[in-house]
Every structure is written in structure tokens, then in C-alpha cells.
């Protein structure tokens, strides 16, 4: 299960949605067969992040919501926090910005409350992206700075291209010059051989990148 789900997550980051979907779905099926709530909550949380990376928003929301229910029923605080963050981010992307931000903020606080620091670069960056949707550039800038600081301190360089893309989105929202925005996008594109998914989003924008639809099928992002 772990190898399949993590393999799917990595393939998602690399920009191979079909393989990512097959691996994630296989890992979730394996977890269901084991009938272990902890394993299933973990599988659903990580798979939901893989689908979120491909902008398969409905699938990411569904998986995160199921993880949320399992984690709540079985008192699994770490997976409850992750489910909150991914579900909240998807809600923001789908238009429920206030409700989604509340869930994301709660999830991020609860994640830190467990003592965990892993993936904080991602969580802070996703919050920055959601605050940009809310047109709150002050909060977006604060969370983006927190994401950059954590990336530098803990070496979470798998998010480096996304950090540059988020910076470009912030600059665009703040009406910075096209040269600044383009420079940040070029930085996202440069020397990122393992982050094809992020590079594609930086090249074509969120609404033109690959997305995972049904298992084995790629579609346009949402």
C-alpha cells in the first residue's frame, strides 16, 4: 500500500497523471481490503494530495472527505489535520473560499499541534494560494514567506517549483511588472527535472495543465 500510494504521489509530482491514478487507486483498494482505519486514512490523505496536484478537484475533495470521516471516527489527529487541509484547499478552488480557508487554517494548526513539521512547505503554500483566491494579498504573502522559510530550513525542495509559481501568482495579483512575473515563472521552469507537474502548471497555468480524471484517463484541469 505504501509503495503504491507514495509511487502515485511521486508520479503526480512528475506530471504523469494516468500512472499516478492507477497506483493511488490500487493502493486505496489494498488499504480497504486490509480493513485497517489508520492505513486507509493515510492512503486516502496522500492520494487526495496526488489528485489535488493534478487539479482533479472533485476526486481530491471526495477522498479527503472520506479520510476526514475515518480519522474523526477513529481519533486519528494527524490524518484529520491533513484531511482538513486538503479538503479546505479543494473547497476554495471550487468556490467556497470562506469555508475552505477555515478548514485549512484549522488543519494547519492541528498539524503543528501534533508536533509534525513534514510537508509544512506544501501546507503554507496551499494557504497562500487560497488567500490569493480571497484577494487577501497580505495573508498570502505571509504564508508564502512561511513556506519559503520552511523549505530552506528543512530542504523540502520538491516544492521549489510550486513556490516560484505561487510567487508569480502573488506578483500578478499585486500588479507587478510582467518582467517580475515572467522571471518568477522562468525560475519555476529552470532546473526542475523531477517536478514536471509543477513545471507544466507554470508553463500553461492551472487551467491548462494535466489532470487526473478516472483511473487511466487524463483530462484537462479544473
The Cα–Cα gap between 89 and 115 comes to 22
**Residues 15-38, mean pLDDT to the nearest whole number:** 95
pLDDT category, 191, cuts 50, 70, 90?
Answer: low
Please say whether the beta carbons of 169 and 129 come within 8 A.
yes
**Residues 87-105, mean pLDDT to the nearest whole number:** 97
Residue 188 scores a pLDDT above 70? no
State the pLDDT at residue 198.
Answer: 53
Instruction: Report the predicted TM-score, pTM, of the whole model to 2 decimal places.
Output: 0.83
In this structure, the number of other CB atoms found within 10 A of the CB of residue 194 comes to: 14
Give me the residue label for grid cell 514567506: 145
The Cα–Cα gap between 148 and 43 comes to 27
**Residues 159-176, mean pLDDT to the nearest whole number:** 81
Residue 202 scores a pLDDT above 90? no
H or E stretch including 21? Answer: helix 17-34
Q: Which of 132, 197, 135, 134 is nearest to 161 (CA)?
A: 197
pLDDT category, 164, cuts 50, 70, 90?
Answer: confident
Amino acid at each position: 500500500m505504501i509503495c503504491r500510494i507514495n509511487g502515485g504521489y511521486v508520479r503526480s509530482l512528475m506530471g504523469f497523471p494516468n500512472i499516478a491514478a492507477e497506483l493511488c487507486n490500487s493502493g486505496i483498494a489494498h488499504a480497504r481490503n486490509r480493513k485497517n482505519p489508520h492505513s486507509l486514512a493515510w492512503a486516502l490523505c496522500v492520494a487526495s494530495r496526488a489528485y489535488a496536484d493534478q487539479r482533479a478537484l472533485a476526486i481530491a475533495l471526495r477522498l479527503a472527505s472520506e479520510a476526514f470521516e475515518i480519522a474523526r471516527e477513529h481519533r486519528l489527529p494527524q490524518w484529520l489535520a491533513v484531511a482538513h487541509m486538503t479538503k479546505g484547499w479543494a473547497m476554495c478552488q471550487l468556490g467556497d473560499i470562506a469555508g475552505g480557508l477555515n478548514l485549512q487554517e484549522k488543519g494547519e494548526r492541528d498539524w503543528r499541534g501534533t508536533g509534525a513539521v513534514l510537508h509544512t512547505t506544501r501546507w503554507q503554500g496551499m494557504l497562500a494560494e487560497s488567500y490569493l483566491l480571497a484577494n487577501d494579498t497580505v495573508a498570502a504573502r505571509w504564508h508564502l514567506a512561511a513556506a519559503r522559510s520552511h523549505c530552506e530550513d528543512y530542504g523540502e525542495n520538491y516544492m521549489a517549483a510550486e513556490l516560484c509559481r505561487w510567487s508569480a501568482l502573488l506578483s500578478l495579483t499585486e500588479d507587478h511588472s510582467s518582467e517580475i512575473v515572467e522571471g518568477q515563472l522562468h525560475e519555476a521552469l529552470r532546473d526542475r527535472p523531477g517536478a514536471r507537474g509543477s513545471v507544466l502548471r507554470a508553463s500553461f497555468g492551472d487551467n491548462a495543465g494535466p489532470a487526473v480524471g478516472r483511473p487511466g484517463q487524463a483530462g484537462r484541469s479544473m
